[in-house]
Chain A
Amino acid sequence: MNNHILPRVAVTGLGIITSIGESIPEFRKGLLSGKCGIGPVSLFNTSGFPATYAAQVKKAELNGIVNEREAKRMSRCDLLGLVAAGEAMTDTGLDSDKAGTRNIGVVLGGGAGGMLSWEHYRRSLWSGEIRKRPSLLLPCACCSFTDLLANRYRLTGTRTTVATACSSSATAIGVAFDLIQTGIHEMVITGGSEALSELTFAGFNALRVMDPAYCRPFDKNRKGLSLGEGAAILVLENYDRARERGATIYAEMLGYATNSDAFHMTSPDPDAMGMSRVMERALERSGVDTNEVDYINAHGTGTRSNDPLETRAIKRVFGDKQARDLAVSSTKSMVGHCLGAGGAIEATATILAICEQVVPPTLHLEEPDPECDLDYVPGRSTPRAIRIAMSNSFAFGGNNTALLFGKGGNEKPFSASFSTNKPGS
């Protein structure tokens, strides 16, 4: 199955914050119970937009993780990311002192980064406010959170931010995988963070690809995506080393692929060749046969174009019969489309599905589109034997990424391994 000539890669730490849960135990509970985090937005004024809903993180006290002075220099994206990172670093047993002694890499996916902070600055400039705050500009770059995380946990290895729009953090996980497979690092902190911003909200509204209510992936009456925000951090580690130190291995990362549609900046290739090929290459490079895959966490945005094309691509890769045996679900129906963090959040949902042997559902799927004729696990999560699962991310610019995860080998039920020392379980 897996090519073991190169070092194997284990997932040994997880942390998350989303609209349906602000820790792994909460997220797990929300995911498996089919909680929807999409609703009105309070971060900025959305009146006048055709679509006004998004999946906003509810917790008001994000600043509790840093002191007030530090928080002033951070963006909402940084703060969301630090919540997830704190959980993942504790989970994997790395406190900041120990981390400083290690050559650990940081590879994160970036989306709009500190756009919300830049918008505050830009708006004050535009409106002619006398008192401007240049400090709002400090966390604007999309690599701001990468530097912040590396500095906070004293990590001195490779430091990289990947920006491939909606597939950024999925691609980042792939780049992190490479760093371990090639022996450059034994441990890499990866994932991504994204905060809602006026720019992305206005942009997706301008393109008329947002559902005015909540997204309905694969539904005949779907009208578009729902934006979301959040962060997910994964700790990838050399598998043998993780076993030696007795780490909990939530899953094994088997491989990944990235490619380009080379077609259009916003429209996917109408033949779905890019989507098909990226799944094929991920399977080939991981040494996985199509009949070993039981679950696909779909890109599943709920736009008119994505869902039937992704369905067609899955059927092309797996064949009609095998495709119908697969469980395919879109967790964006719960957490929204979290852009730069989407790939990492969905990878975490995929890993959770493997650990629990339960497929999370696709919400709001009431009237299936005839062109979308697979098992999308509508409405409720379903127990299922999952040996290997795939997570798809497709992005603006035609940037596609597919990740493959398998069972960890020494995994305990997810709830048992995680909830013993976690708040909110």
Chain B
Amino acid sequence: MNEIVVTGIGIISPLGIGREAFQTNLTKGKTGIKRITSFDSTSLHSNIAGCIEDFDPRGFMSPGAYRRMGRVSSMAVAASIEALDDSRLVLDTMDRERVAVIMGTAYGSSSHVENFYLSFLENGPRGTQPFLFPDTVPNAPASHIAIFHKMTGPNTTFCQNEISAELAMLYARSILLKRLADVALVGGADELSPILFQCYDALGALNRVKIGKGQTMDPKPGRGLVLGEGACVLVLERDDFAAGRGAETYGVLKSGVVKGRITSVGHYEPEGDQMGRAMTMAMEQAGVAPDGVDEIHVSANFSGELERMECRQIEKAFGKAAMHLGVTPLKYLTGDYGGAGTLRAAAILMGFRHQLTPPTVTAAMLEGDPKHPLKWDYSTAGKSRCALMTTSTFGGGSSSFVFVNE
């Protein structure tokens, strides 16, 4: 059976624009979570997020190309440009119908939804701004990528809260294995808009940290979500296709599983059984035993519920000693968004290439025990062969992936 390899990465993230900046800042242990300056959060309970302040689409495309794109779409297209360049695919020599674009986003362009609806509220039925409406659909980022690169293959978007990008990776893997495409650009993207932040605040879901200008922040696990934004696109290919064109690979997307669980609205699955099952199944499908896993990447997002569940399931899968294992909660450095799955995958894959595993905390720290303040371990040099990435979302979905450095 064929394997699915990753041959290109493009990143627009709170930890840096471009994969090199992301990798450098991640390895140095910088955080992308900062005081929000792009909109006024004075009346809200939080003013921190994983914001991207230095993204300028002009660095990637002409004004004519991005003029009508929402922020999330321009970030996604920019990430796709970097990923394609990294993969060294020459589209002009390819059948573009054999290139798929599969994206995951929780909300798409929430700012376009807000601005279009506000134009209706303020100006009435005949005073709306029609150019804002097309990008209100969540598939806008995937469509803009296809339009920008003239990719006419399968094109689909998944929206499943915090596992949106994970579902995109699974589907892309499936259509490549079925040979419905030779290459898939698979990505995750979300934007941090004032309305989205305000809605999460109104629901009481945010980590109630307010900081002043120039102050650093210290969100604590268990005190609520810290939101983020960004776009990351991966170039996936079957190994035979990649080998045929002599492509350099980052690693293999060996397996992926998604499961559901009965859950209350707005909450994570209570015990994490399905997350545990997804982890076990992903390892089985990849032919990897727990002791063969060198890195564990968790989806902890400061919510507390998710941290407790992940700790419980890691302990079940890896035994009592698991609480001393290093795990990477990347969302602690970037904030949480629906399309974050591909960025977390990129952190694993770039670590494989550079033999630098991303920073870790001990699993025990995730539970936010005051005796275990959040302390990062940056001793990251060394070859890693296998990484497990778990993600759960509020609403009840859990996924697990195994990446192998071959």
Contacts and interface: CB of A to CB of B under 8 A. Distances in A.
Nearest to B96: A262
Given A48-B124, A143-B159, A147-B395, A265 B135 contact: yes
B146 interface: yes
A350 B126 CA distance: 37
Given A138-B203, A182-B174, A163 B139 contact: yes
Given A134-B203, A147-B263, A277-B97, A266 B157 contact: no
B139 A207 contact: no
B274 interface: yes
A130 to B, nearest CB: 14
Interface in B193-214: 195, 198-199, 202-204
Contact of B151 (A154, A262, A397): A262
A165 B137 contact: yes
A65 B116 CA distance: 33
A212 interface: no
A412 B136 CA distance: 43
* Chain A, interface SS category: mixed
A163 B120 CA distance: 24
* Chain B, interface SS category: mixed
A123 interface: yes
A381 interface: no
B156 A175 contact: yes
A391 interface: no
Contact of A163 (B121, B137, B150): B137
Most buried by B among A100, A171, A273: A171
Contacts of B199: 118, 121, 134, 137, 140
Interface residues of B, number: 71
B183 interface: no
A151 B174 contact: no
Interface in A137-190: 137-144, 146-148, 150-151, 154-165, 171, 175, 178, 182
Nearest to A47: B125
B351 interface: no
Contact of B202 (A47, A134, A198): A134
Interface of B: 68, 96-97, 101, 105-108, 113-114, 116-118, 120-121, 124-126, 128-130, 133-140, 142-144, 146-147, 149-161, 167, 171, 174-175, 178, 180, 195, 198-199, 202-204, 258-263, 265-266, 274, 395-397
Given A48-B126, A397-B134, 20 more contacts: A48-B125, A50-B126, A73-B265, A115-B113, A121-B199, A138-B266, A141-B395, A148-B265, A164-B156, A165-B139, A182-B178, A202-B120, A202-B128, A208-B130, A258-B155, A259-B152, A264-B147, A397-B140, A397-B143, A399-B142
18 contacts: A115-B113, A122-B117, A122-B195, A123-B121, A137-B199, A148-B265, A158-B258, A159-B259, A160-B158, A162-B158, A182-B178, A198-B120, A202-B128, A208-B130, A257-B154, A262-B150, A397-B134, A397-B142
Interface of A: 46-50, 73, 100, 106, 110, 115, 118-119, 121-123, 125-126, 132, 134, 137-144, 146-148, 150-151, 154-165, 171, 175, 178, 182, 198-199, 202-208, 257-266, 273-274, 277, 285, 395-399
